[in-house]
């Protein structure tokens, strides 16, 4: 089965029209959810002298005073397509990941004042000293996770909810933990409004994980800690993969942890820049 066919089969039905999602009503999840100045018309008498503004041909007057109301906003669908094309040029080769990011409306996960920059290459602030990762970072981490439809994924650091939305678009079942109430509530409401029924959000200390729901096939941590939290290692399933930035804010390395035959193996996946992982087993 082609990646695109698999994605369509397992992903929630999202429709983009004309510039953001119009999803169906999200299913209920009882018991487990925690928690330009317009132009004014002047009546001044026109000056009919030769060379005056009234003597200028109408089409030239129109050019001299463009109507800002006729300007159109950028099409987010085209912006996403350009973003994905740039990600491919940067080396992201996972077709399923690129297809998912071409569908998820990233501009809805940032503040309204920043929507024009949502598809740029950098990170953006989302409040409380937190950020939404760059498109490249999201694509790289999602590719390194090597997810498959139906996999249970633990995400530490819900943030804006964008990473969780990408994972659910790939058919994953995501349990996402956030420690900051404001971000938790905002992301929860947005994910529900978009019909992301494959993700549940939790307000808790992410460094402790969710032991009652363990084990998880994949664990992704979107903040950098001094070391890999031991509780998260215990919640990683056999043949599972964990991805976490390790180190201080000035020197982090993206680390991939594998569990194979009861043993743990680490792989250095290069430098990283993330906010601090705060909690009992973080900073």
What integer pLDDT is reported at residue 112 of this predicted model?
Answer: 93
pLDDT (tens digit per residue) in 43-54: 334 444 444 444
Determine the distance from the C-alpha atom of residue 55 to the mean position of all C-alpha atoms in its chain, rounded to a whole number: 54
Give the helix/strand (H/E) hosting 233.
helix 230-234
- Angstrom distance (rounded) from CA 169 to CA 13: 9
**Buried (b) or exposed (e) across 238-247, using 16+ Cβ within 10 A?**
eebbbbbbbb
Supply 107's token pair: 């501009």
> In angstroms, what CA-CA distances link 276 with 45, 196, 271?
65, 27, 15
Over residues 78-106, mean pLDDT: 98
- Angstrom distance (rounded) from CA 11 to CA 5: 10
48 has catalytic annotation: no
pLDDT (tens digit per residue) in 231-248: 999 999 999 999 999 998
Q: Pairing state of beta strands 199-203 and 173-178?
A: parallel
The distance between the two most distant Cα atoms of the chain, rounded to a whole number of Å, is 92
Over residues 56-75, mean pLDDT: 50
What mean pLDDT, rounded, does the chain reach? 82
- Angstrom distance (rounded) from CA 140 to CA 94: 9
- Angstrom distance (rounded) from CA 152 to CA 150: 7
28: which DSSP letter?
P
Q: Answer yes or no: is pLDDT of 61 > 60.
A: no
Look up the CATH number of domain 15-20+74-272: 3.40.50.150
Over residues 202-223, mean pLDDT: 98
- Angstrom distance (rounded) from CA 12 to CA 248: 37
Handedness of CA 97, 19, 12, 8 (dihedral sign): negative
Structural domain spans, the chain: 15-20+74-272
What integer pLDDT is reported at residue 84 of this predicted model?
Answer: 98
The three-state secondary structure class of 203 is strand
Q: Which residue, chain included where needed, has tokens 């949502």? A: 118
Contact call for residues 17 and 10 (beta carbons, < 8 A): no
Over residues 143-155, mean pLDDT: 98
pLDDT (tens digit per residue) in 155-164: 999 999 999 9
What integer pLDDT is reported at residue 73 of this predicted model?
Answer: 74
What integer pLDDT is reported at residue 64 of this predicted model?
Answer: 43
- Which of 43, 52, 133, 134 is the catalytic position? 133
């Amino acid at each position: 089965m082609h990646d695109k066919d698999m994605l369509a089969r397992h992903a929630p039905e999202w429709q983009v029209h004309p510039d953001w999602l119009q999803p169906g009503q999200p299913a209920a999840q009882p018991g487990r959810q925690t928690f330009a100045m317009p132009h004014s018309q002047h009546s001044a008498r026109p000056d009919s002298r030769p060379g005056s503004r009234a003597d200028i041909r109408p089409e030239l007057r129109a050019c001299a005073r463009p109507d800002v109301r006729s300007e159109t906003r950028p099409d987010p669908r085209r912006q996403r397509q350009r973003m994905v094309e740039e990600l491919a040029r940067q080396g992201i080769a996972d077709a399923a990941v690129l297809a998912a990011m071409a569908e998820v409306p990233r501009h809805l996960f940032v503040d309204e004042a920043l929507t024009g920059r949502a598809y740029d290459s950098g990170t953006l602030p989302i409040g409380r000293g937190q950020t939404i990762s760059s498109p490249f970072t999201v694509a790289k981490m999602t590719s390194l996770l090597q997810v498959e439809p139906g996999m249970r994924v633990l995400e530490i650091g819900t943030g804006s909810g964008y990473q969780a939305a990408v994972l659910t678009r790939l058919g994953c079942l995501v349990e996402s933990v956030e420690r900051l109430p404001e971000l938790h509530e905002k992301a929860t409401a947005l994910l529900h409004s978009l019909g992301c029924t494959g993700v549940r959000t939790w307000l808790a200390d992410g460094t402790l994980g969710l032991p009652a729901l363990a084990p998880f096939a994949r664990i992704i941590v979107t903040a950098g800690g001094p070391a890999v939290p031991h509780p998260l290692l215990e919640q990683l399933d056999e043949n599972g993969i964990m991805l976490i930035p390790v180190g201080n804010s000035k020197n982090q390395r993206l680390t991939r942890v594998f569990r194979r035959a009861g043993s743990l193996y680490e792989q250095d996946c290069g430098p990283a820049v993330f906010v601090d992982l705060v909690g009992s087993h973080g900073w």
